[in-house]
Structure 1
Amino acid sequence: MANDNTLINALIGAAVTVVLSFTGVSPVLGGAAAGYLQANGPGDGARVGAISGLVASLPIILVLAVFSAALPFVPIEFAALGIVAVLFVVVFVVGITAALSAAGGYIGGYLEEEY
């Protein structure tokens, strides 16, 4: 694929991440797919891999948002704790997914450049 298809490559990598979510290394594999398709070296591979990880995190954020809809029905003390916990989980999960996808993108970009 051409270098100017960054968003398409990131979407393909995100799809690979979601499809392979039963494995423990799905963000790395999705990022590697996106980085390989980017075909512009490890630096751009890491960038498109990170974008892929952010896109792949959207379903996780959506699920947590649905669970957050129940917060108005609990006492305020528990709701405040729930909001903080949900925000912490979202930031942690998105950060880990983006970092692993960026590492996979770097590997994919390196493999495409060398082979």
Structure 2
Amino acid sequence: MSQRTTTVSRERQSRSDPEPNTLMNALIGAVVTVVTAPLLPFAAIVGGAVAGYLQERDGLKVGALSGGIAAIPAFFVAWLVVGFLFLGVDPMLGIGGLLAMMIFVFVLGYLVLAGALGGLLGVYVRKEL
């Protein structure tokens, strides 16, 4: 019986799981957010949940990072939308750039907070399953 116990403990030591790659999991969550954004109203929560599920812990951090990465394409979309809205307006006004930055800050806050919430939910689901 003693020999079996030591064998099992040696197997557990040799099978130690590698640390999860936070940046890769956040990037996967950001891709899920960007791809599902046209289809789902709360895509940032889904992307953060995927990142948190893959991470297995630190869901708040990986989910927020996922939302921050997903904000990069959102910045370009906001800039494009504002550019079309102010097409033909005097470029010296600068109101288009200001409006684009305000939209970007709002979207960034939403994506980071929703991603963090999704990350927490993803870790919770992972632990329950």
- TM-score over 0.5 for the alignment? yes
Higher gyration radius (CA): 2
Structure 1 residues 31 and 75 mapped into 2: Cα distance closer, same or farther (>3 Å)? closer
The answer on whether the counterparts of 1:50 and 1:101 sit within 8 Å (CA) in structure 2 is: yes
Q: Give the CA RMSD over aligned residues.
A: 2.4
Question: C-alpha separation between the residues in 1 aligned to 2:46 and 2:32?
Answer: 7
Question: C-alpha separation between the residues in 2 aligned to 1:19 and 1:109?
Answer: 21
Give the equivalent residue in structure 1 for 2:11.
none
Give the equivalent residue in structure 2 for 1:20.
36
Structure 1 residues 109 and 2 mapped into 2: Cα distance closer, same or farther (>3 Å)? farther
Give the equivalent residue in structure 2 for 1:6.
22
1:91 matched to 2:105? The reply is yes
Give the equivalent residue in structure 1 for 2:55.
38
User: Which AA in structure 2 matches 1:23?
Assistant: L
**TM-score under structure 1 normalisation?**
0.82
Question: C-alpha separation between the residues in 1 aligned to 2:119 and 2:18?
Answer: 16
Structure 1 residues 93 and 84 mapped into 2: Cα distance closer, same or farther (>3 Å)? same
The answer on whether the counterparts of 1:3 and 1:39 sit within 8 Å (CA) in structure 2 is: no
Question: C-alpha separation between the residues in 2 aligned to 1:65 and 1:75?
Answer: 14
Identity %: 41
Alignment length, in residue pairs?
Answer: 110
Unaligned runs of at least 5 residues, structure 1: none
Give the equivalent residue in structure 2 for 1:29.
46
Relative contact order, higher structure (CA 8 A, sep 6+): 1
